[in-house]
Structure 1
Amino acid sequence: MTSDAVRKRNPEALRERLLQAAAAIAVEQGIQAVTIQAVAQAAGVTKGGLFHHFASKDDLIQAVIAHQLSAFDEIIDTALLTDSDRGCFTRAYVAAIFALSEATAPVSITLMAEQGAGQQWGDWISARLEQHRLTDAGSDLTVVRLAADGVWLWDLWNGKPLELVGAERLALFNHLIDATRRETSR
């Protein structure tokens, strides 16, 4: 079966390849290197094949950012399956930040510097906080989320995970998780 036949039968797989190619180029060469030609070539398709999925470079980059947020959502939603107590979203958020920092920091770091990413992130976090307002309201939980954001921002600004390794990083993670379980006045 030719690759053309495979592409026609599985457009989602092609879209995924295009997103992965764009993310890889952004990490390896910088966001400015993400061009229609470069992504199409890396994914093994024509520019027309790319344009079938994305109308422009900006659409492609926004889709890569949305794809990253979707992966972040999956980590959070999986954690929420087994936790519905006070602070459940914050615990899932902290776990996702630490997983993101360790596994996909280069992609998220590169993409969050892109214009428009902040707006997508802001919309996402606002929606999630509204969704979990009954379990995750309170300044104590806000402080924990902001501390986790600090870990992620350190990774973002320095281009590498926070220089806490092994036991130190685990201790910080556990401290933040423990802080979500403390009962305080709301």
Structure 2
Amino acid sequence: MNVTAYNRPKQPEQVRRALLEAAVALAEEQGLGGITVQAVADRAGVTKGGLFHHFANKQALIDAVFDFMLEQMDEALDRLMADDVGEGCFTRAYVVSTFECCDMALSGQALSISMVTDPALRRRWRDWIDARLVRHAETDADPGLHVVRLAADGYWFARVLHDGDPGTEAPEALQARLIAMTRED
């Protein structure tokens, strides 16, 4: 039997995920300019019409990719926090996930760095982080923990700007030092 787009089983969630993963991969390889409707559709193995079935336009696709990245960040944070309780637990998870992100091949750097120039993406990030901070206000409202999170952000940004080399201190040592700072009184 010859399977075509017309008679293959419909799996909308798998197609949507394939489109998102294709867009992330293209952004990593070529920057945001690499995310074209045709390139994403080709990479995911669907037609442009199939892409438009899931995303109304390129901006909707980019927004969905950003949401996908935030969902992955949420999952990582929740996983890391599952065994950690008490003062600073969210900040420790944030530090570890930031360092893990820097070491992953698909860290979403191209899309994440676009927050610098895209006010809508900055606002979405700010809304996401604000919601997490409200959720963890009981354990992570201390200003010292805010400084630790900013240091983790700075580390990530330095890795992006310096092609993976943020400085002379080993990443493991810096991460350990930031984690230790979350436990100080």
Taking structure 2 as the reference length, the TM-score comes to 0.89
Question: What is the match of residue 112 of structure 2?
Answer: 112
Q: Secondary structure at the match of 2:149?
A: helix
Contact 1:25–1:33 (8 Å) recurs in 2: yes
Report how far residue 158 of structure 1 moved: 3.0
Alignment partner of 1:19: what SS? helix
| Alpha-carbon displacement from aligned partner over 1:75-120 (angstroms, at most 9, x marks no partner) | 100111111210000000001101111114x642200233232121
**Residues 1:143 and 2:147 aligned together:** yes
Q: Conserved in 1, the CA contact under 8 Å of 2:81 and 2:90? A: yes
**Within 5 Å, which residues of 2 pair with 1:6-85?**
6=8, 8=10, 10-85=11-86
Q: What is the TM-score with the length of structure 1 in the denominator?
A: 0.89
Match of 1:113, SS state, is helix
- Whether the 8 Å contact between 2:31 and 2:111 is mirrored in structure 1 is no
The percentage of aligned residue pairs carrying the same residue is 44
Contact 1:101/1:161 (<8 A) preserved: no
Unmatched runs of 5 consecutive residues or more in structure 1: none
What's the offset of the Cα at 1:175? 0.5
Alpha carbons of 1:91 and 1:45: their partners in 2 closer, same or farther (altered >3 Å)?
Answer: same
Asked if 2 retains the 8 angstrom alpha-carbon contact of 1:88 and 1:135, the reply is yes
- 1:148-169 deviation line (CA, Å, top 9, x unaligned): 011111123334352557xx21
Q: Give the whole-Å Cα distance in 2 for the aligned partners of 1:3 and 1:76.
A: 40
**Range 149-158 or range 17-26, more displaced:** 149-158
- Name the CA distance, whole Å, in 2 between partners of 1:117 and 1:91: 24
CA distance in 1 between counterparts of 2:165 and 2:19 reads 26
Query: What is the aligned residue count?
Result: 179
Q: What is the aligned counterpart of 1:131 among 131, 135, 142?
A: 135
> How far apart, in 2, do the equivalents of 1:62 and 1:7 lie?
27
User: 1:160 matched to which residue of 2?
Assistant: 164
